[in-house]
Amino acid sequence: MKIVACNSNLPLAQAVAEQLDIPLCNVSVRRFADLEIFVEIYENVRGEDVFVVQSTSYPTNDNLMELLITLDALRRGSARRITAVIPYFGYARQDRKSGPRTPISAKLVANLLVEAGANRVLTLDLHAGQIQGFFDIPVDNLYAAPLFTRDIKERYSPKDLMIVSPDVGGVVRARQLAKRLDVDLAIIDKRRERAGVSEVMNVIGDVKGRHCLLVDDIIDSGGSLCNAAVALSEHGALSVGAYVTHGVMTGQAVEKVEASPIKMLTITNSILAPQKVASSQHIRQITIATLLAKAMRAVSDESSVSSLFD
């Protein structure tokens, strides 16, 4: 078993390697003068079970190309099996035709990964579960819910606690977490006029006098989450917090969170946090290194991955 780390999230890859007590493979991922990507693997990988850790986060296209070229290098180096470990799967929000003459980019990325040499994909909280069907290879979609459940139990009392989905599309995710915690569920009904802009329309559920936790898979510009927090406060919530798997955090997202009623936003380290996120007093990270390490070990040992969902 070998672990190859590309450049998108080296601290996470190093933490996973430490959990598995396996050193990272000696690899060079660098740029030529015209910014072409070049990958060179300095260890023998013939017949090895290789895991490539790379989030396809910002800069998305650069990180995706790094991953594809690394997969190709390993395939041509005769690795026995190559697993693409993608903690954050970029382009996942383009999972269907949103209008005439628009692409399904998530399917295109799936094709690229397979063509480059991936034999298996290991990822976390896919934006849309049907993306697994875009692949003709095994896909293990891990969930952050067990991590969030433990963290919430340590930090919050179940009394007056309520889980809230910031939109109708996230109800299944929020309901699963509410069931784990044995607490009530509320839903924000919103209308999205265009990408990146949302308007809260209504709160479904009685949140008055409750400590509300918003749950989502991605926070990008922060508009939806912060608008939802304002609506909850206006409807009488005692406090508002948030648990989000992937902290994309583009533009003024940090400033929006800090100016919103959200007391604390908890994200995972699936994406390497920029300095602005890491230094914010209103944002904290929990690590997924142990979860990824256990899943990678299970894949390598041909044992159950689904047991990690409990």
**Residue 60: C-alpha distances to residues 56, 57, 73 (Å):** 5, 5, 20
CB atoms within 10 A of CB 5: 23
- Find out whether 182 is annotated in a ligand binding site: no
**Residues in CB range of 302: below 8 A, 6 or more apart:** none
Look at residue 121 and give its three-state secondary structure: strand
2 is catalytic: no
- Find out whether 310 is annotated in a ligand binding site: no
Q: What is the CA radius of gyration of the chain?
A: 20
Look at residue 76 and give its three-state secondary structure: helix
- Find out whether 93 is annotated in a ligand binding site: yes
Alpha-carbon gap, residue 200 to 305, rounded angstroms: 38
**Which residue among 2, 107, 179, 190 is the active-site one?**
190
- Find out whether 220 is annotated in a ligand binding site: yes
- Find out whether 120 is annotated in a ligand binding site: no
- Find out whether 36 is annotated in a ligand binding site: yes
- Find out whether 55 is annotated in a ligand binding site: no
* Closest residue by Cα to residue 135 from 147, 118, 154: 118
- Find out whether 223 is annotated in a ligand binding site: yes
- Find out whether 90 is annotated in a ligand binding site: no
- Find out whether 77 is annotated in a ligand binding site: no
- Find out whether 216 is annotated in a ligand binding site: yes
Q: Can you state the angle between helices 10-20 and 289-301, rounded to 10 degrees?
A: 60
Asked if residue 263 lies in contact with residue 228, where contact means CB atoms within 8 angstroms, the answer is no
Q: Catalytic residue numbers?
A: 190
Residues at the binding site for D-ribose 5-phosphate are 192, 216, 220-224
Query: Known binding site for ATP: residues?
Result: 34-36, 93-94
- Known binding-site positions: 34-36, 93-94, 127, 167, 192, 216, 220-224
**Residues placed in the known binding site for Mg(2+):** 127, 167
